[in-house]
Amino acid sequence: MNRQDLFELIKRKKSFLCVGLDTDITKIPKHLLGNEDPVFDFNVKIIDATIDLTIAYKPNLAFYESLGSKGLTSLEKTIGYLQTFGDEIFTIADAKRGDIGNTSKLYAKTFFDNLGFDAVTVAPYMGEDSVTPFLEYPEKWVILLALTSNKGAEDFQMLETVIDKKETERIKLFERVITKSYEWAGPDRIMFVVGATKANMLEDIRKLAPDHFLLIPGVGAQGGSLEDVAKYGMNEQCGILVNSSRNIIYASLDEDFAEKAREEANNIQQQMNLLLEKNIL
């Protein structure tokens, strides 16, 4: 799916919501636990209840890997199910991978070829050859970690950096990640993760990356505001995907979980619709 397709999808669904399928077997409703594949069954019900309100789904790999090979089977079935919706949905593997070139190449094969995701989150610490193998797949996306939503983002991402001892211009590490990535690919192939808890910094980030899509976690459970994110982060192609996980998928821990998930997603989608009307459409 290319950048224009993604914008069209956003206009069609009047939403820029990404639902995080962080499906935790210890948190899903008890009545599902007798099923053969409770994680997959939970995901299908959440997807069916929210797909018309949602642009993207983003399973975080940690939740599936924690269940071993069985969890990976649940993931394979989930992405297979999402693919039956064709271009109506954008799929993100939240894997935060990154390794030496040959190894990143294998990860890219896993997430793009084998599993068929549209995008994968990539950690930038190891630099160019850890990222570029993910860029070899046309119409697939790298979502680079830039400024994450957690407290630890302060430790390294916010450090002021200079290229060498003589240079005087200082920019923060996450800004360096953004500017460096232009050497590898532009806004048609790369997005950035920017935490909603840092909404006030979105204005500065937009100066460095005016056209990129930003994947924004941390609205809701982690405390960020949707209005602020839209105010500072939107560009004329919307340019933001806002992720919500726990608030939606665990809106109820009972038999009505899918219904309640839909109510929650619907609330967010209605706010998003207003923000899109106000800022773009």
Q: What residues are annotated to the active site? A: 96
Report whether 66 contacts 103 (CB < 8 A). no
Smallest gap, in angstroms, from Cβ of residue 195 to a second copy?
9
Residue 74 tokens, joined: 């649940």
CB of 182 to a second copy, least distance (A): 12
Nearest approach, Cβ of 154 to a second copy (angstroms)?
7
Choose between 48 and 155: whose C-beta lies nearer to a second copy.
Answer: 155
Long-range contacts of 172-176 (CB under 8 A, 24+ apart): 174/146, 174/147, 175/204, 175/205, 175/208
Side-chain-side CA neighbours of residue 188 (13 Å): 7
CA separation for the pair 158, 146 (Å, rounded): 10
What beta strand segments (E) does 41-148 contain? Answer: 56-58, 90-97, 119-122, 141-147
Looking from the CA of 204 toward its CB, the CA atoms found within 13 Å total 14
Can you tell me the distance from the alpha carbon of 190 to that of 118, in angstroms, rounded to the nearest whole number?
A: 12
Q: CA angle, 105 as apex, 100 and 110 as ends, to 5°? A: 125
Q: Within 10 A of 123 (CB to CB), how many other CB atoms are there? A: 17
Closest separation in Å from C-beta 24 to a second copy: 8
What's the gap between Cα 32 and its chain centre? 27
Q: How far is the CB of 76 from a second copy (least distance, A)?
A: 6
Rounded to a whole number of angstroms, the minimum distance from the CB of residue 60 to a second copy is 6
| CA neighbor of 14 nearest in space, from 269, 188, 217, 279 | 269
> What gap in Å lies between CA 259 and CA 256, rounded to an integer?
5
- Nearer Cβ to a second copy, position 15 or 157? 157
Which residues of this protein are in contact with a second copy, per CB under 8 A? 22, 24, 60, 62-63, 65-66, 68-70, 72-73, 76, 96-101, 103-104, 106-107, 109-110, 114, 123-131, 145, 148-157, 159-165, 167, 170, 173, 176-177, 180
Beta strand pairing call for 119-122 and 240-244: unpaired
| Closer CB to a second copy, 246 or 260, in the complex | 246
